[in-house]
């Protein structure tokens, strides 16, 4: 049951007006957002007849989520569930002959502490059976080309992982002994010298062989077409905690020296990762960052390296857009990448010899992931403005799944419009506006400026749940891709390097001004908010203008020097702002805390108690300052939560608090308490 007064939509009688997109019989609610199923990880079978994928569903009563494996035929038959209720499964992967489907799961009858292992179905019949028994569990896996071995990604065990059941009862945790430059990370906690390495498991004799080692982390392992080599990405510099210089490496899949005999494939000073073999095994496609001095603002470009000559080249040097997830096509003529371009996410095919890409999947949508069959058909996950992520088939864009149709048919969604305008200095800016359900063009509406995180991220042509929730409660929602966003080239992204809250502030404010000029927005009823960098930029907004009547600062930073050594970004802080004892003026100039006295907007502040990404420390400092200044504010801390709020009841609680805060302060509607007996 909600802890807040139920909000009664003022537009209930106007559900057939132009703002309506999908005509259900009721507005969207926080409970609906919890009920939306999450579709992911489409994996098409080698023969192209089936697509295995995952569906995550949430049970509010149990306050937990469960992820199941499903299969969708590429013909006309309906999808079906493959795994039974009671445990979660992830990462479905077909064996090369298509007879088995392996996946990750921690299921084990009667053992609540069981670790994640690789399991597999035989599609000819029978229950799933475990393929691995690794004490500390398995992080990831890949089938060998002949299907007789598995490449496993495994982190070194903790001491307690190696204890038998009789010893676990008497185990007492040891103190954290810390000697690394990068010594903590959100969700992982304090970091020790346990590293992640690659192993090969022979499925015939269950022999597990470690093929990489050392004080480094290895990732992205992939088999060569003949199964003799493994390519992977690893930062093996003298101080891997001090830079982002990952390279591609190759190791024998049958080596006996734990990977001490390696071959380095790339030498770029930036990050090289995501290796993908050409069908003939002569080259690797990958993703490269050639501007390491720009940190996360650096462009991520498509590249290929020849394994004989070790010569690397960009596939499309003039392309000023980010790519990810390379895969060669079966004929080896092209390399597929996900391509981020403006407010869209496309599937792009780059000629293997270099040149401009074509776009087998384009349009007003966002492609999230994809896989290929042996004949080159592509199953891909994509979202559209009024469609949460579902699975499609290419060539073409035939939709294979419609997981949330029953729920979507019940609710009314607001129309989404792609907008373009100019910022204060003339820079072209893109964004999206979601209109209230039942929008009437004769009226101006209360409006929420909702800011994305990152900052190197973006809003795109995908379903945005929070915007639809706000629209269901009578708001115009303005979402802007300010400078710093990822889909507009390296220079656009790097415009805010060590200059946060300046040009990006101008851009989001220009978005609000544009909405006012169009007549959509009531300038006297404005709200602003966001999470992570969205909360940080919110802090910049409310310290520089009093135009907003309500603000929500989620998981934000405000006094930057307080984070040095406390969050997990010290390396990035140093490279962007300098060492705080040497460039303290930069740190202080950028900190919104030093203008906190300018805030007059009623501000709701939220964060996770265990967040080491953007620690709740800064949220507490912002709250304390506003409280001392006598401003209207409230602090919400979610126990046991990190940067992303995962507990279902907390997620619902957060959405309800958003609505209640904006209702009270942006709309100016006093809450109506339920009558007491």
**pLDDT single digits (tens) 351-379:** 999 999 999 999 999 999 999 999 999 99
Angle CA 244–245–248, to nearest 5: 130
Whether residue 324 contacts residue 338, with contact meaning beta carbons closer than 8 Å, is answered with: yes
The rounded distance, in Å, linking the Cα atoms of 421 and 429 is 5
Determine how β-strand 189-190 pairs with β-strand 184-185: antiparallel
For the chain, list residues with pLDDT below 50.
1-18, 109-110, 675, 677
CA-closest candidate to residue 133, choices 154, 148, 147: 154
Domains of the chain: 20-28+407-665 (3.40.50.1820), 38-161+202-208+379-403 (2.130.10.10)
Whether residue 553 contacts residue 606, with contact meaning beta carbons closer than 8 Å, is answered with: yes
The rounded distance, in Å, linking the Cα atoms of 346 and 325 is 12
Task: Tell me how far apart the terminal alpha carbons of the chain are, to the nearest angstrom.
Answer: 18
The rounded distance, in Å, linking the Cα atoms of 90 and 92 is 6
The rounded distance, in Å, linking the Cα atoms of 245 and 185 is 19
What local confidence, expressed as pLDDT, does residue 672 receive? Answer: 66
What local confidence, expressed as pLDDT, does residue 15 receive? Answer: 30
The rounded distance, in Å, linking the Cα atoms of 229 and 277 is 10
φ, ψ dihedrals at 170, nearest 5°: -100, 5
Give 556-559's long-range contacts (Cβ < 8 A, gap of 24+): 556/532, 556/605, 556/607, 556/614, 556/618, 556/619, 556/622, 557/614, 557/618, 558/591, 558/592, 558/593, 558/596, 558/618, 558/619, 558/621, 558/622, 559/591, 559/593, 559/594, 559/618, 559/621
**pLDDT single digits (tens) 31-86:** 999 999 999 999 999 999 999 999 999 999 999 999 999 999 999 899 999 999 99
pTM over 0.85: yes
What CA dihedral angle connects 329, 335, 339 and 345, to 10 degrees? Answer: -10
């Amino acid at each position: 049951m909600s802890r807040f007064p139920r909000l009664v939509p003022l537009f209930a009688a106007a559900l057939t007006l132009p703002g309506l997109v999908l005509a259900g019989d009721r507005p969207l609610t926080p409970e609906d957002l919890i009920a939306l199923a999450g579709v992911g990880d489409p994996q098409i079978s080698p023969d192209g007849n089936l697509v295995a994928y995952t569906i995550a569903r949430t049970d509010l009563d149990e306050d937990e989520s469960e992820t199941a494996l499903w299969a969708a035929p590429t013909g006309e038959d309906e999808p079906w569930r493959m795994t039974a209720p009671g445990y979660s499964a992830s990462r479905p992967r077909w064996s090369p002959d298509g007879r088995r489907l392996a996946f990750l799961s921690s299921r084990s009858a009667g053992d609540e502490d069981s670790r994640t292992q690789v399991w597999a179905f035989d599609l000819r019949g029978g229950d799933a059976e475990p393929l691995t028994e690794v004490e500390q569990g398995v992080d990831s896996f890949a089938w060998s080309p002949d299907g007789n071995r598995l490449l496993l990604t495994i982190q070194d065990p903790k001491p307690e992982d190696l204890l038998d059941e009789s010893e676990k009862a008497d185990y007492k945790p040891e103190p954290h002994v810390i000697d690394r430059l990068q010594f903590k990370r959100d969700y992982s906690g304090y970091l020790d010298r346990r590293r992640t390495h690659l192993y090969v498991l022979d499925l015939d004799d269950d022999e597990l062989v470690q093929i990489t080692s050392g004080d480094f982390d290895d990732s992205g392992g992939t088999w060569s077409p003949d199964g003799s080599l493994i390519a992977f990405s690893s930062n093996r510099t003298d101080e891997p905690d001090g830079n982002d210089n990952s390279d591609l490496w190759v190791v024998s899949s049958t080596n006996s020296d734990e990977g001490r005999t390696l071959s380095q494939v790339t030498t770029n000073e930036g990050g090289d990762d995501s290796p993908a073999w050409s069908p003939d095994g002569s080259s690797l496609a990958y993703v490269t960052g050639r501007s390491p001095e720009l940190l996360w603002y650096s462009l991520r470009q498509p590249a290929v390296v020849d394994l004989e000559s070790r010569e690397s080249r960009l596939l499309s040097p003039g392309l000023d857009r980010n790519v990810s997830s390379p895969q060669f096509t079966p004929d080896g003529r092209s390399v597929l990448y996900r391509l981020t371009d403006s407010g869209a996410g496309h599937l792009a095919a780059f000629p293997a010899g270099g040149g401009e890409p074509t776009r087998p999947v384009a349009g007003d949508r966002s492609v999230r992931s994809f896989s290929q069959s042996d004949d080159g058909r592509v199953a891909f996950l994509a979202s559209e403005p009024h469609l949460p992520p579902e699975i499609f088939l290419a060539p073409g864009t035939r939709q294979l799944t419609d997981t949330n149709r029953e729920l979507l048919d019940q609710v009314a969604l607001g129309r989404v419009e792609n907008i373009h305008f100019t910022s204060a200095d003339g820079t072209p800016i893109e964004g999206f506006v979601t209109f209230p359900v039942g929008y009437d063009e004769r009226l101006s509406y209360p409006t929420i400026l909702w800011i994305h995180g990152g900052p190197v991220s973006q809003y795109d042509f995908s379903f945005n749940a929070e915007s639809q929730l706000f629209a269901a409660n009578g708001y115009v929602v303005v979402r802007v891709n300010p400078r710093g966003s990822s889909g507009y080239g390296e220079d656009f992204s790097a415009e805010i390097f060590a200059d946060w809250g300046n040009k990006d502030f101008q851009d989001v404010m220009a978005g609000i001004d544009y909405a006012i000029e169009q007549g959509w927005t009531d300038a006297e009823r404005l709200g602003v908010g966001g999470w992570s960098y969205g909360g940080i930029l919110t802090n910049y907004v409310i310290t520089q203008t009093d135009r907003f009547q309500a603000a929500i600062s989620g998981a934000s930073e405000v006094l930057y020097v307080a984070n040095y050594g406390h969050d997990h970004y010290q390396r990035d802080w140093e490279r962007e702002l300098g060492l705080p004892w040497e460039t303290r003026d930069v740190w202080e100039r950028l900190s919104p805390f030093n203008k906190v006295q300018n805030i007059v907007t009623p501000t709701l502040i939220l964060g996770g108690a265990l967040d080491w990404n953007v620690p709740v420390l800064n949220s507490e400092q912002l709250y304390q300052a506003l409280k001392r200044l006598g401003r209207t504010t409230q602090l919400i801390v979610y126990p046991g939560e990190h940067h992303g709020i995962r507990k279902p009841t907390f997620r619902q609680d957060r959405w309800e608090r958003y609505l209640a805060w904006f209702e009270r302060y942006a709309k100016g509607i006093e809450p109506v308490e339920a009558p007491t007996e």
